[in-house]
Amino acid sequence: IVGSLLGDGYLTKTTRGFALRINHGIAQSAYVDWKYNVLQTLTNSPPRNWRDTRYFRTVSHSFFDEMRAVFYPDSKKIVPDYVAQCMSPLILSIWIMDDGSRDKNQLRINTQSFSKAENEKLQSILRASLGIMAALNRDTQYYRLRVCAKSMPRVRQLVAPYIISSMQYKLSL
């Protein structure tokens, strides 16, 4: 859930609180189905296609209400301090499958929705929690993370058990 919230996942308002919505392009259907299988006990219906997307939503749950307060304190998604406490290879893997893209012998993580300070926080979390060196890369007026080539063997080692086959192109696994 945390990996998805760092990436493309978002918490949507329901009549009973909040639910996690997972939404990716049709080309990533296998990834949506994988996420559904992981979260299936928190859902009432399987993924659906709509136009050029595949999606599903969890049920409302008090945990999602708590995560909404942590990740969206003022209605805008942020990088909470909580991420430093729970960063793991699995969270990194999901985040990469959501927002990662290979760039020659490096990896970009598209974090442009976060501020420069939040990107610096993520950079520090990756270094302290997983031993991964990343730089900030400017994409027009926004910042994103670029995992340095010298850290790519470490990234591949950490995420190899979790990256599904249809997403391995993001890391050349």
Q: How confident is the model at residue 154 (pLDDT cuts 50, 70, 90)?
A: very high
Compute CA distances 153 → 19, 127, 141, whole Å.
36, 14, 30
Mean pLDDT computed over 116-133: 98
How far apart (Å, rounded) are the C-alpha atoms in residues 137 and 57? 33
- The confidence score (pLDDT) of residue 103 equals 87
Mean pLDDT computed over 4-23: 96
Lowest-pLDDT range of 102-106, 111-115, 117-121: 102-106
Residues forming a β-bridge with 12: 19
DSSP 163: -
Give the helix, strand, coil percentages of the chain, each rounded to 5.
45, 25, 30
* One-letter amino acid for residue 38 of the chain: V
Please state whether 140 falls in left (phi above 0), alpha (psi between -120 and 50) or beta. Answer: left
The residues, ordered by sequence, that sit 6+ positions from 53 with a Cβ below 8 Å of its Cβ are 23, 24, 25, 26
On average, the pLDDT of the chain sits at: 96
| Residue appearing with tokens 């985040």 | 95
| Residue appearing with tokens 């945390």 | 2
The residues, ordered by sequence, that sit 6+ positions from 145 with a Cβ below 8 Å of its Cβ are 108, 109, 111, 119, 122, 123, 126, 134, 135, 136, 137
Q: Tens digits of per-residue pLDDT, 54-66?
A: 999 999 999 999 9
Phi, psi of 7 (to 5 degrees): -100, -125
pTM of structure = 0.95
